[in-house]
Amino acid sequence: MRVCLIASSRFPIREPFAGGLEALTHVLARELMRRGHQVSVFAAPGSDPRLGVTELPVAAHRPSEAGRADVGATPEAWLADHHAYLGLMLDLARTGHERFDVVHNNSLHYLPVAMAETLSIPVVTTLHTPPVPWLESAVALSPRGSGFTAVSRFTARAWSHLVDCTPILNGVDTDAWVAGPGGRNAFWSGRLVPEKAPHEAIDAARMAGLGLLLAGPVLDRAYFDSEVVPRLGPDAEYVGHLHHDELGRLLGSAAVAVVTPAWDEPYGLVCSEAMACGTPVAAYARGALGEILTPEAGELARPGDVADLARALRVASTRDRALVRRHAVEHHSLAGMVDAYERCYARSASGLAA
């Protein structure tokens, strides 16, 4: 099929990835290409050239002095994203039917949803977050413009007041995230921001008597400096923002991975990455983590309860690594995810619901 894959305009689709959405878009595009589909990725400038990306024109809009004086003036970055997606959707409305069989909106922006009904080709939108105001309003405006999928059953339920979503669980490349030998330390990875609460991972690991390595982009410097840096020491080290090969090596060499969302996690890709490496997971029972992390692969803790998370770390570290790996391969593989998206594209192209 000829697939138009709409990605983030904010962060490039390249390693080291800013987050799970960018990593997922990258692996989805590459697997679709490997299977023989013609994939056109529309993404932020600086994305991986191997994807044949068409860069979204995220040029900063320079408002006039009169525009800047308005009390309701929007931030320039918001305007840049808006115009990038507006230009793309207008172009697809004009000539998209000549180039594509299906559009897969894998972004978090509202315009591909709100304008989906203007296209003469089917649109599939994957919902990666619980309802947020700008996206919720777009879905309410055009509930039949897209066919909707969601990255977990939890996320599908969160949107059920507006649309029916087909859950398609995120997948990881289990040929790239390979089983490791384990080790003595715990490992945490993700965006170092308050809603991911890495400072609580440090506290819990220390309480459990485990060393901890942390990896990921520092996207909130004030939070990192005030809550993470003071907690670092000989038993807690920040190792930087890493590529997947190094992340996989460290995950495979950990006794346990720790996931500490301070919000309702829509999926939790790091959980599947760890399990693919055979590394059991201790996580707060928030959002979709209760359906992703089953007892053979790790242990859940009460949300926000650091002492209970320390207990979960000790329990999870005793899990059989071979069973953890098998769970990831059977339930959270890239192959299974892309199989489901291929079926979804085919249904949409034939005029059926996603």
Assess whether pLDDT exceeds 80 at residue 62. Answer: no
In tens, the pLDDT along 305-352 reads: 999 999 999 999 999 999 999 999 999 999 999 999 999 999 999 876
Residue-level pLDDT at 80: 82
Residue-level pLDDT at 81: 86
In tens, the pLDDT along 95-148 reads: 999 999 999 999 999 999 999 999 999 999 999 999 999 999 999 999 889 999
In tens, the pLDDT along 222-236 reads: 999 999 999 999 999
pLDDT band at 78; cut points 50, 70, 90: confident
In a domain, 21, yes or no: yes
Assess whether pLDDT exceeds 90 at residue 27. Answer: yes
Domain count, the chain: 2
Residue-level pLDDT at 243: 96
In a domain, 263, yes or no: yes
Residue-level pLDDT at 73: 44
Same domain, yes or no: 297 and 232: yes
pLDDT band at 70; cut points 50, 70, 90: very low
**Alpha carbons 265 and 80: distance in angstroms, whole number:** 28
In a domain, 178, yes or no: no
Q: What is the 3-state secondary structure (H, E, C) of the chain?
A: CEEEEECCCCCCCCCCCCCHHHHHHHHHHHHHHHCCCEEEEEECCCCCHHHCCEECCCCCCCCCHHHHHCCCCCCHHHHHHHHHHHHHHHHHHHHHHHHCCEEEECCCCCHHHHCHHHCCCCEEEEECCCCCHHHHHHHHHCCCCCEEEECCHHHHHHCCCCCCCEECCCCECCCCCCCCCCCCCEEEECCCCHHHCHHHHHHHHHHCCCCEEEECCCCCHHHHHHHHHHHCECCEEECCCCCHHHHHHHHHCCCEEEECCCCCCCCCHHHHHHHHCCCCEEEECCCCHHHHCCCCCEEEECCCCHHHHHHHHHHHCCCCHHHHHHHHHHHCEHHHHHHHHHHHHHHHHCCCCC
**Alpha carbons 108 and 88: distance in angstroms, whole number:** 15
Report CA-CA distances (Å) from 98 to 10, 29, 38, 308.
28, 21, 13, 56
In tens, the pLDDT along 158-182 reads: 999 999 999 999 999 999 999 999 9
Q: Which residue has the tokens 């959405």?
A: 21
In a domain, 179, yes or no: no
Assess whether pLDDT exceeds 90 at residue 60. Answer: no
- 267 neighbors 171 (Cβ within 8 angstroms): no
- Residue 306, domain CATH: 3.40.50.2000
Same domain, yes or no: 18 and 150: yes
Q: What is the mean pLDDT of residues 32-47?
A: 96
Which domain range does residue 218 map to?
186-331
Same domain, yes or no: 41 and 11: yes
Mean pLDDT of the chain: 93
Same domain, yes or no: 258 and 226: yes
Assess whether pLDDT exceeds 50 at residue 67. Answer: no
| pTM (2 d.p.) | 0.91
In a domain, 176, yes or no: no
Q: What is the mean pLDDT of residues 15-43?
A: 96
In a domain, 354, yes or no: no
Assess whether pLDDT exceeds 60 at residue 72. Answer: no
Q: Which residue has the higher pLDDT, 222 or 9?
A: 222
In a domain, 180, yes or no: no
pLDDT band at 246; cut points 50, 70, 90: very high
pLDDT above 90: percentage of residues in the chain = 88
**Alpha carbons 88 and 65: distance in angstroms, whole number:** 27
Quick one: CA dihedral 243, 249, 252, 255, positive or negative? negative
What number of other Cβ atoms are within 10 A of residue 98's Cβ?
Answer: 9
Same domain, yes or no: 206 and 292: yes
What number of other Cβ atoms are within 10 A of residue 194's Cβ?
Answer: 15
Same domain, yes or no: 209 and 156: no
Same domain, yes or no: 290 and 199: yes
